[in-house]
């Protein structure tokens, strides 16, 4: 039966998220017990939140008020606690009025870009990029302008290269550090150079620090909040999902100046009214009580990354481009294969499921992304062995 209604050509013209398509390669197959499928596609915390956090959310849900709408920009206690946390982390003075709580960091990105851009504008997006970012821009009619990293840079883009891409349609530059998909952590001087570039051209710098907690304790990734006028340029994004294992609760944050926040509030009111309140209660409890637990988890994840770095050295046909947070970005050893063909080869021969580099932008056929967050430490050597054999 045909459908009479039309659909948006902007949405219809965007390919769906790639994880489901890649997982379809393994659907319906039976893998032997001595060589099970290892799925390294989607990065999500494997462990649940701490028991006391779960118990707190259960108590929160017993309050009838918990099931009512909350404030559009987030429950005030969480905005206050997160502003204090961010201020302490960055040695800055950030007010609760400069914070919005969103339904995950994806929504923080979406509402920020909707508030900043109109159809026909463009945004500089380092490539390889987080696929949802490019998808959302195209759905808005905003052109993603790809910024490729230089060979040998470890996946770190260059502000000078970005400046040559700026034109009259450019409205913002996006940075994600530590990066998804590459895992690369951008040096403070690189982030500072991009901030100076955005400020000089009166652009927004959208800095997604979803994985900031996975840096070594005491690491200060940049000094952008030292600038008294930071709110004129910087739009900061964050997620509570990874650090407190709250992915399903959808709770993130956006930090920006008052002018942009007023527009963000309009968008939030239309698309969600407020972020899920149980997730907000979980994030607030996490900030107040679970940071030591979280530090243990993030330290363990960094150690697993180093395990993988050492293990992949035993597969010399594979080149490690960059690694960090949850991810490793690799150049596969088959120049005659596309990235998707390389992924299919690995699942067919080695029961190993990765994402093709082409999921993260054009020109990435020699690359694949691996989320080592999805395996236990004891399995890291096995992953490297299967890669080498593949």
What are the tens digits of pLDDT across the range 305-332? 999 999 999 889 999 999 999 999 999 9
Q: Partners of 207 in the beta sheet?
A: 175, 236
272: helix, strand or coil: coil
Q: What is the pLDDT of residues 23-66, one digit of tens each?
A: 999 899 999 999 999 999 988 887 899 999 999 999 999 999 99
Residue 373 is predicted with a pLDDT of 87
**Strand ranges in 209-365 using DSSP code E only, listed in sequence order:** 234-239, 252-255, 319-324, 327-331, 352-353, 355-356
Sign of the dihedral through C-alpha 63, 67, 70, 74? positive
Share of the chain above pLDDT 70, in %: 99
Parallel, antiparallel, or unpaired for β 234-239 and 204-208?
parallel
- DSSP class of residue 109 equals H
How far is 259 from 245, CA to CA, in rounded Å? 32
Peptide bond into 156 cis (omega under 30): no
Tell me what pLDDT residue 43 has: 81
Q: What is the CATH number of domain 15-44+293-389?
A: 3.90.1150.10
Judge whether 66 and 217 are in contact, CB under 8 Å: no
Q: Give the per-residue pLDDT at 2.
A: 63
Whether 15-44+293-389 and 51-289 share one fold: the answer is: no
- Average confidence (pLDDT) over 252-270: 97
Which CATH number describes the domain made up of 51-289? 3.40.640.10
Residue of higher predicted confidence among 219 and 245: 245
Q: What are the residue ranges spanned by the domains of the chain?
A: 15-44+293-389, 51-289
- The kind and range of the H/E element at 76 are helix 76-90
Pairing label, strands 234-239, 99-102: unpaired
Upstream peptide bond of 128 is cis (omega within 30 degrees of 0): yes
Q: What is the mean pLDDT of the chain?
A: 95
């Amino acid at each position: 039966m045909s459908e009479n209604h039309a659909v948006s050509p902007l949405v219809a013209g965007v390919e769906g998220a790639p994880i489901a398509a890649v997982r379809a390669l393994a659907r319906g197959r039976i893998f032997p017990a001595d060589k099970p499928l290892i799925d390294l596609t989607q990065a999500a915390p494997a462990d649940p939140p701490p028991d006391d956090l779960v118990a707190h959310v259960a108590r929160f849900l017993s309050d009838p008020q918990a099931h009512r709408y909350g404030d559009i920009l987030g429950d005030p206690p969480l905005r206050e606690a997160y502003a204090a946390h961010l201020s302490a982390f960055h040695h800055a003075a950030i007010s609760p009025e400069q914070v919005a709580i969103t339904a995950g960091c994806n929504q923080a990105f979406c509402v920020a870009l909707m508030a900043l851009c109109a159809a026909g504008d463009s945004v500089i997006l380092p490539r390889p990029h987080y696929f949802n970012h490019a998808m959302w821009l195209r759905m808005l009619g905003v052109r993603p302008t790809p910024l490729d990293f230089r060979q040998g840079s470890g996946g770190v883009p260059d502000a000078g290269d970005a400046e040559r891409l700026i034109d009259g349609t450019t409205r913002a530059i996006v940075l994600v550090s530590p990066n998804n998909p590459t895992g690369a952590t951008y040096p403070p001087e690189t982030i500072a150079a991009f901030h100076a570039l955005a400020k000089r051209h009166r652009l927004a710098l959208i800095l997604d620090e979803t994985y900031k907690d996975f840096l070594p304790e005491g690491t200060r990734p940049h000094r952008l909040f030292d600038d008294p006028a930071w709110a004129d340029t910087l739009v900061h994004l964050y997620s509570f999902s990874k650090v407190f294992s709250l992915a399903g609760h959808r709770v993130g944050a956006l930090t920006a100046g008052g002018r942009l926040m007023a527009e963000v509030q309009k968008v939030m009111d239309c698309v969600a009214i407020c972020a899920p309140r149980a997730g907000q209660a979980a994030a607030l409890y996490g900030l107040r009580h679970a940071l030591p637990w979280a530090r243990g988890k993030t330290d363990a994840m960094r150690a697993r990354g180093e395990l993988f770095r050492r293990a992949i050295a035993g597969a010399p046909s594979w080149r490690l481009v960059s690694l960090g947070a949850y991810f490793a970005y690799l150049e596969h050893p088959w120049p005659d294969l596309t990235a998707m063909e390389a992924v299919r080869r690995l699942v067919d021969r080695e029961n190993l499921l990765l994402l093709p580099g082409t999921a993260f932008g054009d020109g990435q056929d020699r690359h694949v992304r691996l989320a080592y967050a999805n395996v236990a430490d004891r399995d890291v050597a096995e992953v490297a062995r299967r890669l080498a054999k593949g």
